[in-house]
Structure 1
Amino acid sequence: MAPTRTGVASGVERARQVAASVVDPELPMLTLADLGVLRDVEATDDGTVVVSITPTYSGCPAMATMRDDLVRRLQEEGYDDVRVRVALHPAWTTDWITDRGRAALAEAGISPPAPRAAAGALRSASRAPVPLTLGPTRRQVRCTRCDSAEVELISEFGSTACKAMYRCRACLEPFDHVKEI
């Protein structure tokens, strides 16, 4: 017997909750939902669960692990046929990180990204040219330990390519900062 529309809807909502609970392999204090890479969960007429995720950047090495973790968790919850689709448009932005995700990053000692508008990266909705700047990237970064704004960039690439490494000039502690995209 085919599931009723109500049964499909409740099954999709349950699948969405399961998918939303999967943690990011590089930032395990965040779920894929809190990171903003979980885009959609739907079910086809034949019962296949289709999960859409967007990479934080096109070369993200964690995508295969995210896919595998999503499939495994959903299958553990009884969803036999699971497909993961990569959605590249619109491109992921750090603005999609939830407030809960930003708080979890800070609690884990990782500086969360500033909103893109505050970071100077927000452009109008038009397709206006983006100016090329070759100077250092300016970010609003505060030390995750002492909250000082007196920080210095150590490396544009931190423990993962989507993070930069900073050091606090006040307490001398190094820390990662998630780059605004």
Structure 2
Amino acid sequence: MNARDRAAEVAARVRDPEMPMLTLADLGVLRAVEVKDTADGGTVIVSITPTYTGCPAMATMRDDLVHRLNAAGFPRVEVRVVLSPPWSSDWISERGRAALRAAGLSPPGPAPRPAAGPVPLTLGPARRAPSCPRCGSADTRPTSEFGSTACKALYRCTGCLEPFEHVKEI
């Protein structure tokens, strides 16, 4: 296995600090891994995209990537933040969606598609239709637009009455 493949394998196993049931690869924030050879060795360059602008977990993601790659024998690691195209919840892998459900979180549905032309201003609540990750009921009600992190909303299932977090569609 070459250095790039080895580095990519290590980076793909790094867990998200806010949703540790997901790897950065499953979350879709891990965009690319390259190895640049230099005269004094190689540098691993990892590109990641935040789920939200100003995501507080980015520093931890960067530090975890550097630490894991250093421990795997890559002494020089550079982490780049890529903002374009912006992250979409559609980038969460099927394995990641299954891991969210297994952890009691409702995975996001399809991300909204931007309209052509001017962006319409909407001030009402977001319209989502999450299913309960515990009993599967689609009869759910929002309780708060924000959960434990900005990328999650709180819901309650009216079938089993259990509260749950839903990962927002972006």
TM-score normalised per structure 2: 0.95
List gaps (5 residues or longer) in structure 2.
none
Q: Residue 36 of structure 1 aligns with which residue?
A: 28
* Bigger proportion of residues as strand: 2
* Bigger proportion of residues as helix: 1
Paired letter, 1:143: C
What SS is found at the alignment partner of 1:25?
Answer: coil
C-alpha distance after superposition, 1:49-89 (max 9, x if no partner):
00000000011100000000000000000000001010011
Paired letter, 1:178: V
Alignment of 1:155 onto 2:144: yes
Paired letter, 1:153: P
8 Å Cα contact 2:33/2:45 also seen in 1: yes
Q: CA RMSD for the aligned pairs?
A: 1.1
Q: Residue 79 of structure 1 aligns with which residue?
A: 74
Would you identify which runs of 4 or more consecutive aligned residues in structure 1 move more than 3 Å? none
List gaps (5 residues or longer) in structure 1.
1-6
User: How many pairs were matched up?
Assistant: 167
Show the 5 A alignment for 1:12-91.
12-46=4-38, 47-91=42-86
What SS is found at the alignment partner of 1:44?
Answer: strand
Identity, % of aligned positions: 66
How big is the shift at 1:128?
1.9
Q: Residue 3 of structure 2 aligns with which residue?
A: 11
TM-score normalised per structure 1: 0.89
8 Å Cα contact 2:129/2:140 also seen in 1: no
Alignment of 1:137 onto 2:126: yes
How big is the shift at 1:45?
2.4
